[in-house]
Amino acid sequence: MDAGTWFTQLNAWQVMALGLVFFGAIYGLGGLAMSLLTRTLAGLGLGRPLDTRALKPDQLQREWRQSFYSILVFGLGMIVPWGFLQLGWAHLTPTAGAGRIALEILVLLIWNDVHFWLNHRLLHTKRLVRYHGDHHRSVVTTPWSTYSFHPIEALMLGNIILLPMLVHDFYFWSLASVPLLSLILNLIGHSNYDFFPKVSDTHPLAASRRHHLHHARPAGNYGFALPFMDQLMGTQVKTGTAQPTSH
Ligand SMILES: [Zn+2]
Ligand SMILES: [Zn+2]
């Protein structure tokens, strides 16, 4: 039996339990791996930390608490795409070649950047910013800032695959790769580490610098991993205008 059929045949409780284990595991392992990676690179003198100020005294506890609620939202929320399949609103293709899988993942990652920019820009409007303040309480970011946001923000960011599922019959593993790849890119964004200090701010490898600038000066750099949405919409933060301020 292919993975898509197996997933569709789970019952609602099994899907939610699977979701909680999946998101809890990738977040816990991913956060630890990113902490270890940046510590090792700093020890080797490769790259540099972006903001060397101390964390706020209760920051890590708050980030873990808020991340726990986001894992609940994302994990239990797996019932929604599963529900789409049960209702026949969406279908999965049982087999796919490597080329099709690569193309599906590429399209989903580009959509991820568009979807994130739109939701993040909305979260910076007067009406919604109250829900985004939780995430911006982390001025000096850590890997645990990644899921540290209000449950409303978790609901907005977590629905990424729903629209694509309605318009295309994806391969199960293409869809399953989205939360994992998205988490890895998001951990890089919150790593507080400049992995490639020599590249320009708009270079794909400068994602952590761009998101660091967003936390230092929240007006601008609403994009996710790639700079194209901020370039298209004219919302880039220029280096030098985003000196970290004391909070
Ligand atoms: Zn952030
Ligand atoms: Zn923001």
Span from the CA of 91 to the centroid of ligand 2 (angstroms): 34
In this predicted model, what pLDDT tens digit does every residue of 78-87 receive, in sequence order? Answer: 999 999 999 9
* CA gap 119, 242 in Å, rounded: 22
Span from the CA of 88 to the centroid of ligand 2 (angstroms): 36
Span from the CA of 122 to the centroid of ligand 2 (angstroms): 10
Strand 170-171 and strand 48-49: pairing? unpaired
Q: For residues 227 and 236, is the Cβ–Cβ distance under 8 A?
A: yes
Cα torsion 123, 126, 127, 132: sign: positive
* CA gap 68, 62 in Å, rounded: 10
Span from the CA of 211 to the centroid of ligand 2 (angstroms): 9
Span from the CA of 134 to the centroid of ligand 2 (angstroms): 10
Percent of the chain beyond pLDDT 70? 96
Q: What does the pLDDT read at residue 243?
A: 43
> Which residue's structure tokens are 């990652």?
109
**88-110 average pLDDT score:** 96
- Enter the DSSP assignment of 48: E
> Which residue's structure tokens are 């991993």?
225
Q: For residues 239 and 201, is the Cβ–Cβ distance under 8 A?
A: yes
For the cut 60, the answer to whether the pLDDT of residue 37 exceeds it is yes
Q: How confident is the model at residue 247 (pLDDT cuts 50, 70, 90)?
A: very low
Span from the CA of 136 to the centroid of ligand 2 (angstroms): 6
Span from the CA of 222 to the centroid of ligand 1 (angstroms): 9
Span from the CA of 209 to the centroid of ligand 2 (angstroms): 14
**154-178 average pLDDT score:** 96
Span from the CA of 85 to the centroid of ligand 1 (angstroms): 32
For the cut 60, the answer to whether the pLDDT of residue 214 exceeds it is yes
Q: Give 47-52 contacts, CB < 8 A, sequence gap 24+.
A: 47/193, 47/194, 47/195, 47/196, 47/197, 48/193, 48/194, 48/197, 49/192, 49/193, 49/194, 50/192, 50/193, 50/194, 50/208, 50/209, 50/212, 51/139, 51/140, 51/141, 51/192, 51/212, 51/216, 51/244
Taking phi first (over 0 means left), then psi (-120 to 50 degrees means alpha), and beta for anything else, what does residue 106 get?
Answer: alpha
Q: For residues 9 and 124, is the Cβ–Cβ distance under 8 A?
A: no
**86-102 average pLDDT score:** 96
Span from the CA of 188 to the centroid of ligand 1 (angstroms): 10
Q: What does the pLDDT read at residue 239?
A: 67
